[in-house]
Amino acid sequence: MPDMSLIIVVVVLALTFDFINGFHDTANAIATCVSTRAIRPGIAIIGTAILNFIGAMISTGVAKTIGGDIVMSPDRINEMVIIAGLIGAIIWNLLTWWFGMPSSSSHALIGGMIGAIIISAGVAALNDWGIIKIVLSLILSPVAALTVGYIIMQIIFCICHSFKPAKVNLTANRLQIFSAALMAFSHGSNDAQKSMGIITLALVSGGVIGTMEVPTVVKILCAAAMAFGTSVGGWKIIRTVGGRIFKMHPIHGFAADLNSAVVILSATLLHLPVSTTHVVSGSIMGVGAAQRVKAVHWDVARSMVVAWVMTIPCTAMMGALSYLVITAIFGGAL
């Protein structure tokens, strides 16, 4: 018989992670449109919450990747390992939110799980190729976003060079409502699936279900938790992403949002998890560099990159430490 009390703890923690992910990553969807004043903040947050929910319901491919590619087999771990990994990720997300640093929730979750698995079952329990695939997608996606963002902005400059700047920005301001909506939808389509994958992994590990097919109720719960978290908003991170990297006008916001949405939706269709934080930040850097390389505040960008690099090793240590603390306190009781 599966220990339902532990599985319930996993579900609660995963939904808490999803909620925190929602308000932590709200900036990804609305930072550009808020900073360019295309949409009022309140309306942007409510619309983003709704579109996050809808996006989260469209697919489970990323969830299967997260749940199936981190560990060699679900029977190599138990619920305590998953709980420890989630605690490590949640602590990191709260710390980076508090300091206004747009760190990656995706990196935090992967790192927390890796640390908990290593300390409990050893390195041999890790799915090496699966983790390499996940980490590569997390690393390459912001590079792709920066490169394509630069190209898209240059194309827009070529198309719009003969128009008056005021007219271009007015048109872009209206178009940005569409691009921000698409960005919010794509955020839900990728990010909410990560908690779905973790909950499904716990259900398989605990013997509740037999395959990595995500139950409908899990999809609804994770989508709702992320939408609710998004509705709370993460204003500290919105200020960092929206204004400190590069001073944007509507045309830049439109290009960055559209580029980010395309990169994230492409990853979702390929069943690859990406960091929406990194993708949006990469898009803004690319768009800014196309305007003028020196216009980008590269010192802010460097501090963000440092946080990105630190996330997986730091959360791995937090996941491992959480496992040791849990087992020391509860031991066999769990």
> Residue 257's pLDDT is what?
86
Share of the chain above pLDDT 70, in %: 86
Residue 54: CB atoms within 10 A of its CB come to: 14
pLDDT greater than 60 at residue 332: no
Domain count for the chain, please give it: 1
DSSP 3-state percent helix, strand, coil across the chain (nearest 5): 80, 0, 15
Element (H, E) at 194: helix 165-205
User: Which of 292 and 182 is assigned the larger pLDDT?
Assistant: 182
Residue 186 belongs to domain spanning: 4-333
Determine the Cα–Cα distance for residues 284 and 295; give it in Å rounded to an integer: 11
The total number of residues written for the chain in this structure: 334
Question: Quick check: helix, strand or coil at residue 57?
Answer: coil
Contact 24, 236 (CB under 8 A): no
Q: What is the mean pLDDT of residues 14-21?
A: 88
Contact 101, 272 (CB under 8 A): no
Tokens describing residue 123 = 């390195």
Least confident interval from 213-227, 239-253, 318-332: 239-253
Question: Quick check: helix, strand or coil at residue 114?
Answer: helix
Least confident interval from 50-54, 135-139, 302-306: 302-306
> Residue 237's pLDDT is what?
52
Confidence of residue 89 (pLDDT cuts 50, 70, 90): very high
Least confident interval from 36-50, 160-174, 305-319: 36-50
Question: Cα angle vertex 93, ends 92, 99, to 5°?
Answer: 90
pLDDT greater than 80 at residue 28: no
Tokens describing residue 117 = 């698995």
